[in-house]
Amino acid sequence: MLNGAVLATCKPRRRHQEFLSFLREIDKAVPAELDMRCIVNNYGGHKHPTVKAWLSARPPWHMHFILTYGPWLNQVERVLRVFALITGKAIRSGSFGSVR
Protein backbone atom coordinates (compact mmCIF):
# COMPACT_ATOMS: atom_id res chain seq x y z
CA MET A 1 0.00 0.00 0.00
CA LEU A 2 3.10 2.17 -0.13
CA ASN A 3 2.56 3.33 3.42
CA GLY A 4 4.38 0.54 5.25
CA ALA A 5 1.21 -1.30 6.27
CA VAL A 6 1.34 -5.08 6.30
CA LEU A 7 -1.75 -7.23 6.03
CA ALA A 8 -1.27 -10.84 7.10
CA THR A 9 -3.31 -13.72 8.38
CA CYS A 10 -2.72 -17.25 9.63
CA LYS A 11 -5.46 -19.76 9.06
CA PRO A 12 -5.57 -23.43 10.04
CA ARG A 13 -6.30 -24.50 6.45
CA ARG A 14 -5.18 -23.40 2.98
CA ARG A 15 -8.29 -23.82 0.89
CA HIS A 16 -9.75 -21.39 -1.63
CA GLN A 17 -12.24 -20.25 1.04
CA GLU A 18 -9.44 -19.00 3.29
CA PHE A 19 -7.66 -17.35 0.38
CA LEU A 20 -10.85 -15.58 -0.69
CA SER A 21 -11.43 -14.44 2.90
CA PHE A 22 -7.94 -12.92 2.91
CA LEU A 23 -8.54 -11.17 -0.42
CA ARG A 24 -11.73 -9.68 1.01
CA GLU A 25 -9.81 -8.39 4.05
CA ILE A 26 -7.31 -6.72 1.74
CA ASP A 27 -10.10 -5.32 -0.44
CA LYS A 28 -11.70 -3.63 2.58
CA ALA A 29 -8.39 -2.17 3.78
CA VAL A 30 -7.13 -0.75 0.47
CA PRO A 31 -8.62 2.36 -1.19
CA ALA A 32 -10.76 1.41 -4.20
CA GLU A 33 -8.86 3.67 -6.61
CA LEU A 34 -5.62 1.68 -6.25
CA ASP A 35 -4.64 -1.15 -8.58
CA MET A 36 -3.96 -4.33 -6.65
CA ARG A 37 -1.16 -6.64 -7.75
CA CYS A 38 -1.00 -10.02 -6.02
CA ILE A 39 1.96 -12.31 -6.58
CA VAL A 40 1.10 -15.87 -5.60
CA ASN A 41 2.32 -19.40 -6.19
CA ASN A 42 0.43 -21.90 -8.34
CA TYR A 43 -1.47 -23.49 -5.47
CA GLY A 44 -4.87 -24.69 -6.71
CA GLY A 45 -6.81 -22.54 -4.24
CA HIS A 46 -5.46 -19.42 -5.93
CA LYS A 47 -7.03 -20.51 -9.25
CA HIS A 48 -10.34 -21.86 -7.94
CA PRO A 49 -13.42 -20.82 -9.99
CA THR A 50 -14.90 -18.98 -6.99
CA VAL A 51 -11.71 -16.94 -6.61
CA LYS A 52 -11.61 -16.27 -10.37
CA ALA A 53 -15.23 -15.06 -10.31
CA TRP A 54 -14.52 -12.75 -7.37
CA LEU A 55 -11.47 -11.30 -9.13
CA SER A 56 -13.26 -10.83 -12.46
CA ALA A 57 -15.82 -8.62 -10.68
CA ARG A 58 -12.95 -6.40 -9.49
CA PRO A 59 -10.95 -5.06 -12.46
CA PRO A 60 -8.35 -3.26 -10.30
CA TRP A 61 -7.15 -6.66 -9.03
CA HIS A 62 -4.38 -8.40 -10.99
CA MET A 63 -3.02 -11.85 -10.12
CA HIS A 64 0.53 -12.78 -11.06
CA PHE A 65 1.58 -16.41 -10.66
CA ILE A 66 5.21 -17.34 -10.07
CA LEU A 67 6.66 -20.16 -12.14
CA THR A 68 5.75 -23.65 -10.98
CA TYR A 69 9.42 -24.64 -10.80
CA GLY A 70 10.76 -21.24 -9.78
CA PRO A 71 11.28 -21.31 -6.00
CA TRP A 72 14.05 -18.72 -6.33
CA LEU A 73 11.30 -16.22 -7.21
CA ASN A 74 9.44 -16.88 -3.96
CA GLN A 75 11.00 -14.84 -1.15
CA VAL A 76 9.78 -17.30 1.50
CA GLU A 77 11.51 -20.16 -0.29
CA ARG A 78 14.73 -18.15 -0.38
CA VAL A 79 14.63 -17.52 3.38
CA LEU A 80 13.87 -21.19 4.12
CA ARG A 81 16.83 -22.22 1.96
CA VAL A 82 19.16 -19.99 4.00
CA PHE A 83 17.82 -21.47 7.26
CA ALA A 84 18.34 -24.98 5.91
CA LEU A 85 21.95 -24.21 4.98
CA ILE A 86 22.69 -22.65 8.38
CA THR A 87 21.04 -25.51 10.26
CA GLY A 88 22.85 -28.12 8.18
CA LYS A 89 26.23 -26.54 8.85
CA ALA A 90 25.55 -26.14 12.58
CA ILE A 91 24.44 -29.74 13.02
CA ARG A 92 27.32 -31.19 10.99
CA SER A 93 29.94 -29.25 12.92
CA GLY A 94 28.46 -29.90 16.37
CA SER A 95 29.31 -32.59 18.87
CA PHE A 96 26.29 -33.87 20.76
CA GLY A 97 26.58 -36.18 23.76
CA SER A 98 22.83 -36.58 24.11
CA VAL A 99 19.69 -35.95 22.12
CA ARG A 100 17.98 -34.34 25.13
Taking alpha carbons only, the member of 80, 79, 47 closest to residue 64 is 47
Q: 47 near 23, Cβ under 8 Å?
A: no
DSSP state at residue 75: H
What is the tens place of the pLDDT at every residue in 40-87? 888 889 999 999 999 999 988 999 888 777 666 666 667 777 777 777
Nearest-angstrom CA–CA distance, 27 and 57: 12
Give the tens place of pLDDT for each residue, 38-50: 888 888 899 999 9
Residue 31 CA to its chain's centroid (Å):
21
The pLDDT assigned to 99 comes to: 59
pLDDT at 2: 65
pLDDT band of residue 1 (cuts 50, 70, 90) is low
> Rounded to a whole number, what is the distance in angstroms from the first to the last CA of the chain?
46
